[in-house]
Amino acid sequence: MRRPLVMANWKMHGSRASAATLVAGLLEQIDDPRADIALCPSFVHLSQVLDACAGSALAVGAQDCSHMHQGAYTGEVAPDMLADLGCQWVLLGHSERRQYHDESDGLVAAKLAAAVEAGLKPVLCIGETREEREDGEAFTVVARQLQGALAEQSALAGLVIAYEPVWAIGTGLTASPEQAQEMHGYIREQLAEVKGVDAEQVRLLYGGSVKAANAASLFAQPDIDGALVGGASLDSAEFANIIAAA
Ligand code: PEP
């Protein structure tokens, strides 16, 4: 039985004040959740959010990390620094990183290796664009992203996959539960081929305009084990309702 996992991706939003309000609101509303929960604020708010979540059911993660452990990499943040701070999770290969920072499958693979070595649990984000889906390429793209990130890894402890069709992120369009399940089933089949992975144990999250109103029907699918939530995670009541649906 896979325990559900609901993660918040705050992206580049917030201030110290709004982060404090958001965490306080969540702590008030979440009592003995039946899902694991993690918040991924921006790097600059990590310390504050870690302090606010200490001793609670809320874990904390980063939205990205370097592929290197230390050195002359100005502006980068090493996974070791995140682990040292108290983070448990890190998002890798988010489509906005792939799109705006040209992250390749090779770079995502290197980040994933560094993150696991540092003791972080990686959430590998994959998903096709609208054009790729319309061209019938969705499954090929997802398989390539999975292989590109996982094929050469020597350790994959704590691996989570987030399937986030790019056309559904921040657009208000959500994959139907059937569309999402079809891809999640396919991802689990692909994972069964990866050395060192127990495909039945890996949690597969869906991401793309998840909100309280559509969460339950997505979570009812057999291979959807939770969600990676962007916009709706910035409202504590909405996010708490998504967690309740898990
Ligand atoms: C995301 O950024 O990972 C995401 C799924 O965003 P949204 O929920 O806003 O579509």
Q: What is the DSSP string of the chain?
A: -PPPEEEEE-TT---HHHHHHHHHHHHHH--S-SSEEEEE--GGGHHHHHHHHTTSSEEEEES---SSSSSS-TT---HHHHHHHT--EEEES-HHHHHHS---HHHHHHHHHHHHHHTPEEEEEE---HHHHHTT-HHHHHHHHHHHHHTT-S--TT-EEEE--GGGTTTS----HHHHHHHHHHHHHHHTTSTT--TTTSEEEEESS--HHHHHHHHTSTT--EEEESGGGGSHHHHHHHHHH-
Q: Average pLDDT, stretch 165-174?
A: 91
**What's the total number of domains in the chain?**
1
pLDDT on residue 200: 96
Question: Which residue is closest in CA terms to ligand 1's atom 2?
Answer: 230
Beta bridge partners of 126: 163
Residue 174 pLDDT level (bands cut at 50, 70, 90)? confident
164 is catalytic: yes
What is the per-residue pLDDT across 228-242, written as a single tens digit (0 to 9) for each? 999 999 999 999 999
**Amino acid (1-letter code) at residue 37:** I
Calculate how far, in angstroms, residue 229's C-alpha sits from the geometric centre of ligand 1: 5
CA angle 42, 44, 46 (to 5 degrees): 70
Give 5-48 pLDDT, tens digit per residue: 999 999 999 999 999 999 999 999 998 899 999 999 999 999 99
Q: Which residues are paired to 60 by β-bridges?
A: 39
Protein residues whose CB sits closer than 6 Å to any atom of ligand 1: 9, 11, 164, 169-170, 207-210, 228-232
Counting from 1 in the atom list of ligand 1, the atom nearest the Cα of 227 is 5
| Cβ atoms of 113 and 148 closer than 8 Å | no
Tokens (6 digits) for 69: 């452990």
What is the distance in A from the centroid of ligand 1 to the CA of 157? 25
Of 15-19, 116-120, 156-160, 204-208, the poorest mean pLDDT is in 156-160
Out of 96, 128, 132, 164, pick the active-site residue: 164
Mean pLDDT of 185-212: 96
pTM here? Answer: 0.97
What's the CATH number where 170 sits?
3.20.20.70
Tallying the residues shown for the chain, one arrives at 246
pLDDT digit string, tens, across residues 104-144: 999 999 999 999 999 999 999 999 999 999 999 999 999 99
- From 45, 67, 94, 184, the catalytic residue: 94
pLDDT in tens, 41-72: 999 999 999 999 999 999 999 999 999 999 99
Mutation to probe ligand 1, out of 5, 6, 10, 11 (largest number of atoms < 8 A from CB): 11
Ligand 1, atom 6, residue with closest C-alpha: 230
Look up the domain containing 113 and give its range.
Answer: 5-245
Please choose from 9, 10, 13, 125 the residue to mutate so as to test ligand 1's pocket, defined by most ligand atoms within 8 A of CB: 9
pLDDT at 87 exceeding the cut of 90:
yes
Question: For all residues of the chain together, what is the average pLDDT?
Answer: 97
Residue 172 has pLDDT above 90, yes or no: no
What integer pLDDT is reported at residue 32 of this predicted model? 86
